[in-house]
């Protein structure tokens, strides 16, 4: 007989959350898994001639299945939404509304996603945080909604999915060779 606990009867393992819940949270903020897969493709295509968007999408799905990734995602989105509703205590509300560049908690939370995939994930996250490509730029530039956490979480998801592909591709061109070709 399984022991019940305050976390929904799940014992020490925590609450299992279906992947579609995380995807629903993304969708309601205007983000699709396809838009994240597009970023993954842009990151990895120079190093993997046989890469497909479908493989990138599957890598995104694999990363988002991880419970700690889902928890990071819903935590960040919830904080963004609470800031939009002006329900955060000061000075956090003002920090979130201004998207203070020195806040850093958003990047710290998102980097937790990339840590599973080593230095490739971390360096890809740093690149995406600066370059802000695809849906990351759209979120960052959207002044109608607060996306302090979500733009970084998407960068973390894309970086992790990209690193996952890089680690699995034994035939990948080296970064030096890809840079020399451009």
Domain-wise residue ranges, the chain: 19-168
Query: Considering the domain 19-168, what is its CATH architecture?
Result: Orthogonal Bundle (1.10)
pLDDT value, residue 79: 98
- Provide the whole-model pTM: 0.86
Give mean pLDDT, residues 120-128. 97
What pLDDT, on a 0 to 100 scale, did the predictor assign at position 18?
A: 78
Of 175 and 103, the one with more pLDDT: 103
User: Is a pLDDT exceeding 50 seen at residue 77?
Assistant: yes
| Sign of the torsion formed by the C-alpha atoms of 62, 59, 23 and 154 | positive
Mean model confidence pLDDT for the chain: 89
How far apart (Å, rounded) are the C-alpha atoms in residues 122 and 156?
8
Q: How far apart are CA 78 and CA 115, in angstroms?
A: 22
Residues 148-165: pLDDT tens digits? 999 999 999 999 999 999
CA–CA gap between residue 111 and residue 162 (Å, rounded): 14
Angle at 180 between CA 49 and CA 137, to 5 degrees: 70
């Amino acid at each position: 007989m399984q022991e019940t606990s305050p976390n929904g009867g799940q014992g020490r393992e925590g609450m299992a959350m279906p992947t579609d819940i995380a995807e629903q949270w993304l969708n309601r903020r205007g983000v699709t898994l396809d838009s994240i897969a597009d970023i993954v493709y842009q990151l990895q295509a120079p190093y993997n001639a046989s890469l497909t968007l479908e493989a990138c999408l599957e890598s995104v799905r694999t990363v988002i299945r991880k419970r700690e990734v889902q928890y990071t995602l819903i935590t960040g989105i919830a904080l963004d939404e609470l800031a939009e509703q002006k329900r955060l205590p000061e000075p956090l509300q003002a920090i979130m509304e201004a998207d203070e560049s020195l806040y850093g908690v958003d990047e710290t939370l998102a980097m937790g996603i990339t840590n599973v995939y080593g230095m490739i994930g971390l360096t890809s996250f740093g690149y995406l945080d600066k370059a802000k490509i695809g849906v990351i730029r759209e979120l960052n530039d959207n002044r109608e909604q607060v996306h302090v956490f979500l733009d970084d979480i998407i960068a973390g998801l894309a970086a992790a999915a990209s690193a996952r592909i890089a680690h699995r591709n034994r035939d990948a061109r080296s970064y030096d060779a890809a840079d020399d070709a451009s």
